[in-house]
């Protein structure tokens, strides 16, 4: 895999994008240290970028180029996929929080009762 292959986004309609249908797009602040510019992101693109960068380093490692693999992982983490991974994690935590905390009171009450009275 070349570095240009690593930077490619998954095609529209990719299985990962289909998995996150309705949840894939999100907004984020580009660089909070510089300003409040807001951009949109894609959970499926972020996860694909992380996987591609890690796979690229694994190819170096499998070929016996350990130093090249370590260099690639550090460089690509700091320049690209580290930010994508943290955004993806924040989005996934938000999705889970909404799924767990936005339940109706009756469902929550039933779950609490079931948990306390096995």
Can you give the pTM of this predicted structure? 0.71
Q: Which domain holds residue 22?
A: 3-116
Domain count, the chain: 1
Q: What is the pLDDT of residues 64-112, one digit of tens each?
A: 999 999 999 999 999 999 999 999 999 999 999 888 888 788 887 888 8
User: What percentage of the chain exceeds 90 in pLDDT?
Assistant: 58
The Cα–Cα gap between 78 and 59 comes to: 19
Q: Which of 10-24, 36-50, 51-65 has the lowest average pLDDT?
A: 10-24
């Amino acid at each position: 895999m070349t570095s240009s292959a690593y930077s490619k986004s998954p095609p529209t309609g990719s299985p990962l994008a289909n998995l996150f249908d309705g949840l894939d797009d999100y907004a984020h602040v580009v660089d909070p240290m510089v300003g409040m510019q807001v951009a949109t992101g894609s959970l499926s693109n972020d996860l694909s970028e992380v996987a591609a960068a890690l796979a690229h380093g694994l190819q170096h490692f499998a070929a016996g180029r350990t130093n090249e693999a370590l260099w690639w992982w550090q460089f690509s983490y700091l320049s690209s996929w580290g930010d994508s991974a943290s955004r993806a994690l924040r989005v996934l935590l938000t999705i889970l929080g909404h799924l767990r905390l936005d339940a109706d009171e009756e469902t929550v009450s039933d779950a609490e009762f079931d948990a306390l009275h096995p």
